[in-house]
């Protein structure tokens, strides 16, 4: 890597969840919905795009707005949001963007000659008689389109299945003709929703939303958000239009299920919904997903982790990290912003879903203000975890903090392990102050856990390694 990569991989003031990553040429492009900081609902912004060189995944470039909310003829009043999109290259070599507005159940399509240019409205997915998909009697509502084009055929995956709603059966696959709009084969169900999962192999991880599709070798991988919401799961088939067998969870934005550094049922980050997919970049595979910030559902940020696809096709669940696309540990040198913390939890009162009273990532100002994120609500027993760092000769760790507090910060390299170092007394301050903790840290790769012990609610702006 020419530049170190972190999680979240985009600037800390950018909120692009539902990431669909693709390699086009020598760059990785990520398409997603667009949340606002302090937004009152999901997906309030226009579609924007970011890209990075395949050999420099820490160097993301803002490509600008690629599609405006009002570009769809159904949204000229600008009273609907653009939900999670996906992009595919059509038989004509053009780029087609599929999406659903938030209050209609039809699939819209836009087109562009380049991956990240200005997309123009193209039309609605429809049957041969012109009836829109989703409007025909018997159609289930369309949601979260994912697309895969092979030759002159495009496979469109859609669906949303909530608990208690037996009118929705599962994820659907619809086959489109080479015009990218006309239905060649009507929708069929490819993964069951929670109300129809018994006896299918999907029990406990039934389809909820966020369908995405990738081809790996001669196998088709269906990636989706399960009914648990916080996890991205996968199913595998020999064909794109059915036969998918449940495979497992790839990533959880709470790290539930990971038992390598904690008990499997311990929550180490407050979760929420999830959406993303896998992509091969060079020789490596990654999963893109998102995390919740600001104590709400509505300010989500894209993250990514390196994954492993086994020879038998399995994808083991991967733990969340701070280094993400870096390809390995971060260098334990100099200062790192606190917003790259991948774990935020308290010793007690742990809840699955993000909330205002929990430690959380925030920023100064309004949406769009280019201010770095930081951690707030570090109350007694709250821990921020950073993964992972290649340490050589580290003598101390400096925590930059502020807030109306009395206490200390403790440093560990494992959850529940002995304290490796403590800062001096942290006192009331309205500006960022450095607090140094001499540490007994051997050379090698370490995770860093920073725990506040004391009264009040501290804020952490950064951590710094002193060698």
Residues labelled as active-site residues: 18, 209
Residue with the two structure tokens 């340490």: 391
Q: 3-state class of 45 per DSSP?
A: coil
User: DSSP assignment of 123-157, as one string?
Assistant: EE-B-TTSPBTTTSTTPPPP-S-EEEEETTEEEEE
Q: Collect all residues with Cβ–Cβ distance below 8 Å to 3 and sequence separation of at least 6.
A: 56, 58, 59
Burial of 444-462, coded b for 16+ CB within 10 Å and e otherwise, reads eebbbbbbbebebbbbbbb
Backbone angles phi, psi at 152, to 5 degrees: -105, 20
How far apart are alpha carbons 289 and 301 in whole angstroms? 8
Q: How far is CA 146 from CA 19, 27, 277, 291, 337, in A?
A: 11, 21, 10, 20, 34
Q: Contact 205/235 with Cβ under 8 angstroms?
A: no
How far apart are alpha carbons 37 and 185 in whole angstroms? 41
Q: Which two tokens stand for residue 390?
A: 């290649």
The CA R_g of the chain, rounded to the nearest whole Å, is: 22
Q: 3-state class of 71 per DSSP?
A: helix
Residue 409: strand pairing partners: 452
Q: Collect all residues with Cβ–Cβ distance below 8 Å to 373 and sequence separation of at least 6.
A: 12, 13, 293, 337, 338, 339, 361, 362, 363
Q: How far is CA 77 from CA 73, 74, 99, 403, in A?
A: 9, 8, 18, 44
């Amino acid at each position: 890597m020419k530049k170190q990569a972190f999680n979240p991989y985009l600037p800390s003031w950018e909120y692009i969840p539902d990431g669909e990553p693709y390699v086009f040429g020598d760059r990785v492009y990520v398409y997603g919905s667009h949340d606002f900081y302090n937004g009152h609902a999901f997906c309030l912004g226009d579609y924007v795009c970011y890209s990075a060189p395949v050999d420099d995944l820490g160097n993301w470039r803002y490509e600008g707005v690629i599609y405006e909310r009002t570009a769809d003829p159904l949204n000229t009043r600008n009273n609907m949001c653009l939900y999670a999109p996906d992009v595919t290259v059509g038989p004509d070599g053009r780029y087609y963007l599929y999406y659903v507005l938030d209050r209609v159940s039809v699939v819209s399509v836009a087109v562009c000659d380049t991956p990240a240019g200005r997309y123009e409205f193209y039309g609605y997915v429809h049957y041969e008689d012109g009836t829109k998909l989703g409007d025909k009697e018997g159609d289930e509502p369309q949601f979260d389109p994912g697309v895969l084009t092979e030759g002159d055929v495009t496979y469109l995956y859609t669906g949303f299945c909530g608990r208690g709603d037996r009118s929705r059966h599962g994820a659907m696959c619809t086959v489109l003709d080479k015009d990218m709009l006309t239905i060649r084969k009507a929708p069929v169900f490819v993964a069951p929703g929670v109300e129809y999962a018994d006896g299918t192999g999907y029990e406990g991880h039934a389809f909820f939303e966020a369908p995405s599709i990738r081809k790996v070798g001669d196998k088709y991988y269906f990636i989706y958000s399960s009914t648990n919401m916080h996890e991205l799961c996968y199913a595998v088939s020999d064909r794109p239009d059915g036969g998918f067998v449940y495979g497992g969870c790839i990533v959880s934005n709470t790290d539930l299920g990971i038992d390598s550094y904690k008990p499997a049922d311990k929550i180490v980050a407050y979760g929420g919904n999830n959406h993303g997919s896998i992509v091969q970049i060079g020789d490596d595979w990654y999963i893109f997903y998102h995390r919740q910030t600001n104590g709400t559902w509505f300010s989500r940020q894209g993250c990514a982790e390196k994954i492993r696809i086994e020879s038998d096709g399995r994808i083991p669940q991967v733990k969340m990290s701070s280094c993400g696309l870096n390809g390995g540990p971060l260098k334990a040198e100099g200062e790192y912003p606190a917003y790259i913390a991948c774990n935020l939890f308290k010793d007690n009162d742990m809840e699955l879903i993000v909330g205002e009273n929990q430690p959380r990532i925030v920023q100064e100002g309004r949406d769009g203000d280019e201010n770095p994120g930081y951690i707030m609500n570090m109350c007694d027993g709250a821990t921020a975890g950073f993964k992972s760092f290649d340490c050589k000769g580290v003598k101390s760790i400096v925590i930059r903090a502020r807030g109306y507090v009395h206490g200390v910060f403790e440093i560990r390299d494992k959850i529940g392990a002995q304290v490796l170092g403590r800062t001096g007394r942290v006192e009331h301050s309205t500006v960022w102050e450095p607090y140094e903790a001499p540490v007994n840290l051997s050379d090698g790769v370490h995770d860093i856990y920073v725990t506040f012990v004391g009264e009040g609610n501290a804020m952490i702006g950064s951590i710094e390694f002193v060698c």
